[in-house]
Structures are given as C-alpha cells and as structure tokens.
A and B are shown apart, each in its own frame.
Chain A
C-alpha cells in the first residue's frame, strides 16, 4: 500500500460554531427539540413579566410611595431606606467606621484569594489575628476618641457581615483544633471531640440560638447582663465549629501516611508536624469544603432574627411594616435575596475556581 501524507482538514461546518453547538445540544432528535422549544417558551412567558416588573416598568427615582405609579417594582422604597439596610441604627456620622472595616476586610480577602499575590502567611495572620482586633475597636469604639456604639444599635447588612465574619474567623481555627482532637491518639481528647461534634451537628442552629439567648444567661450571675449579639456569636461559632471540624478531618484524611512518617522520622514534634507539614497540605485540599461551609454559615446568620437581632433580613422586614411603605414587601425581600445571592454566589464561584485549580495539578504534589 502506498503511503502519502494526508492534508489536515477543518471539521465540517455544521459541527462547529453556534449552529453546530445548537444542533448537538438542543436539537439532536425530535424529543430533545420539542423539550428545547417548550422550555424556551416557558422561560419566555415566565421571565418576561418578572424582568418587566424589575427593570422596564420599575420606579427608580423619587422619595415617597407617591412616586411609584407605573405598577412595576418600587425601588424607591429600597433607595430611601438603603442607609438603614446597610448600617442598621448605627449613628450616621460614624458609619465610616463600618465602611473602613468592610474595605479592610475586602482587601485582606482579595490578598488571600488571589493566588498571584505573595505572602499568604502574613495575610492569614492579619486576617485571623490583627483584623478582628482592629475591627472590634472600630465598631464598638469607646477608645482612641471613637464614640462608643452599643451593639443594640448595630444592624442591617453590617450586622450580617459581623455575624458571618466572626463565625468564619473563629470557627476555622477552632474546627482545626477539634479535628485534630478527633484524630488524636489520646482517648479522652478523642472522645470529647467526637461527643462535641456529634452533639452540635445533631441540633438545628435555630435551637442553638434560642438556647444561647435563653439559657446562657442562666449560667451567669444575676444582674450580669450579657450582650445579646455576643450570645448569638458564641452560639453560631460553637455550632459552625462542629461542621468545620468535619471538613478539616476530611482534609487530614487525604494526607498520605508517609507524610506523617517522614515528619516523625525526622524528629519533628506533634505540633511542628501538624503546623508545618500536615495542615498546609490539608488546608489546600479542603478550601472548597471550607468555602461551602462559609456559604451555609452566611445564609444561616439570618436566623438571628428570631432572637431579636436586626440583621439585613430582619431590618428589611421591619421596614416593610412601616405604614409609609406598606405593600412593598416584595421589593424588600427581592433586595435581601439579591444581596445574599451576590455574597454566596461569589464564594461559590471562587470555590469552583479553586477546585479546578487544584485538579489541574497546580499544586506541587509528588
């Protein structure tokens, strides 16, 4: 047989590009074609009024309900109350303190999240140790000439973020300790960790919050008032720690035994081995799991409404009961949902990005 070099040809035109993609995915066979058309029609009929309500016939400008005349969404309501939704009852001339804390945190998170920026260790210490202290003094005040702001004035999105961030920053290191405890060879430490994890994982957060607000005060001397926000924070942290511990445990299990043995044979002590060898590798692997736990935690913060804290959801709900704005609850809840969605979706995308990055072997695994 005679051999000759065959020319390389482009693929047939009807298999590539938009048309090719549509043929392959939307119209490959009669059943699939019908399904595509029906779903397209459904999406169209259901979404058009929603989009129209939210955008085209919505009312954007004005100051009172009288300005909402078109029958579409009344975003004037949200616009008029936005300060309250963001800052709660925090004194208006002090809200720069909330903004500053927020942007500090944003900068640190970007530093941690963007792989190209170096010195992650410093960023982690700043985030886990320095930032909480700075933010605490900024928010509560009473020092350095800052006016003291009582926590019952906190509310809105800033309170939601305080709950979420404190929950995250506290539950991660505690979760690591608890996970190490669960894998410990000391029977007492191990059983205590297991009992802790299993108890908290078996209780709904809402019960924990009720107990934190009703039961915690019983353990403290009469007359000693115990900040309501602090109680909620403790409840959320104790609860999330148990979940975090399980995520961390999964990461620890993924580390090959040989890593422990190499560290042992070099004479490293337990904490040296964990901090320098095991945890850095395990944490890398469990970032997606940790982020998922953070997402759940972020959404769960809205439960504090039942113990009378005015997080974003609670404060919007209160505003919808204002006679001046009665009838615009939908706009309020859509706004709340959108804000939660933006935060959670960002975290979720980041976690997906990391999973891809870890899979494609950017790590330096042996």
Chain B
C-alpha cells in the first residue's frame, strides 16, 4: 500500500487512510483521508468541536484512533510502543496553552527531551537550544522560569522546545488563541519564518491572514469530517460547500 505513495515520487510525511475515532459511543472522526508531503504547510479550520484537535492529536498518539491507518514518515502508528516512540521523536507539537514545564527554566525546558530522549550531550543540547531561542527571539530569557514570561514569549519558548528535537513535522493546535491580541503577531511571525524555511506544518488556526500567507492547502472540517480542501486563494474566494461558506462568513464578519 505504501507503494502508491513512493510511486508519486514525492515523499509523504503524513498519511491518514480512512481514519476513524470514537470517544466511547461518540463517533468523533469519520473516514479521514489526508496526505501531507514533505515541506507542505497545511492549515486546518472549522467550527469548534468539529474534531480538528482530535485529528492532529491522533498523529502523535496523544489520542488513539480505532480504525484506518496513520503513517508518519512511512511508520505506521500501532500499539507497538517502538513505533510510537519513533513517531514522537519526529513530530513536534505546540499547544494552545503552551504547556511549558513550570518548574524548569526556559533553557531546561528546551534541553530536557534532547538529552533524555535523543541522548544528546548536554553541552551540544544547550548550544542547539540557544540557537532556537535566538530564532524565536528570546535568548535573553533562557534562565527565567515560564511563569515570569508573557503568553507570547511562552508560546515562542514552546515552539523552540519542539524545534530542539529537530522534528520533521510540526503540529500546531490553535497556538495563538489563548494569547492577548498584541502578542499574536510575534508568535505568527515565528511560525511564518518556520514555514519559509521549509518545515512541514499542520496548523489548526483561525488566523486567516496566516493561512493566506503560508498555507499550501486549507482544510475545512465539520462534524468530524473533512468537508473541503483547497489552496488558500480558491478556498477563501470560491468555497464549494454551504457549510464552508457559512463558516467563512462567520469568521470574516468578526
């Protein structure tokens, strides 16, 4: 089955095939099919409760799917703990509420996983961490604790922390929706730069400006299904489904 992917000549980073998930009786994701090529930037939007978070959280097994296949870098996600470990090393994730470790300094947040998961020597890990903290423009905060930083700074640290693992894909789950308006831009700027450098990204967000600037494709989800996907210009100017039109009219009116 993977042959089909390799035949296209382009490397598939993520592939979801007829993926289904239930929470108890509740069928939250229905027959999701999605292919993400290396270097592609995908924005996922849709009404609240449509299953966007659940879908991307299945990709690094924060949630377990019950039917269909998920392949990351060609590795299938199964109960095999080895595969889960491999995939988590390759997939970075940024959360809505940052989820930094409050008892560790910014630098310690960044070097923890490289040292313990990738077994990189501390010196090297710290050098890498400083490099990424500079990339997100807060090297001077390295010795502080997360609680001493603003929301925007915390989210940038969270991005740096993920990048320190040198991931192949980055998942973002509404990275700016817990931020005060004046801090959204500093985080989006970092994400745009990351996109320009060729990082493969899956980003749940309602920042339509961001989608227009960097996305190769926009995916619209509703009721646990992918309703429509298109390149951004077409998606915003020429939505196909009523559901999409309604959603777009709602977010643009505001």
Identify the A interface with B (CB < 8 A): 256, 258-259, 261-269, 272, 276-277, 280-281, 284, 363-366
Contact = CB atoms under 8 A, between A and B. Distances in A.
Contact of A262 (B61, B85, B101, B117): B101
Interface stretch (B44-52, B86-94, B130-138): B86-94
Contact of B88 (A267, A363, A366): A267
**3 smallest beta-carbon distances between A and B, as pairs:** A364-B145, A262-B99, A266-B113
A273 B91 CA distance: 17
B116 A268 contact: yes
Contacts of B91: 265
Contacts, number: 72
A364 B102 contact: yes
Nearest to A262: B99
B27 to A, nearest CB: 23
A365 B147 contact: yes
Contacts of B154: 366
B165 A366 contact: no
B84 to A, nearest CB: 9
Nearest to A258: B99
A163 B165 CA distance: 48
A216 B31 CA distance: 60
17 contacts: A258-B95, A259-B101, A261-B95, A263-B101, A264-B60, A264-B62, A264-B88, A266-B112, A266-B161, A267-B88, A269-B117, A363-B147, A364-B145, A365-B147, A366-B146, A366-B147, A366-B154
A252 to B, nearest CB: 15
Contacts of B92: 265
Tell me the interface secondary structure of chain A in the complex: helix
A268 B117 contact: yes
A213 B1 CA distance: 67
Nearest to B151: A366
B113 A366 contact: no
Contacts of A264: 60-62, 88
Interface in B140-175: 145-148, 154, 161-162, 165
B206 interface: no
A263 B112 CA distance: 10
B235 interface: no
A272 B102 CA distance: 16
A72 to B, nearest CB: 55
Contacts of B161: 266
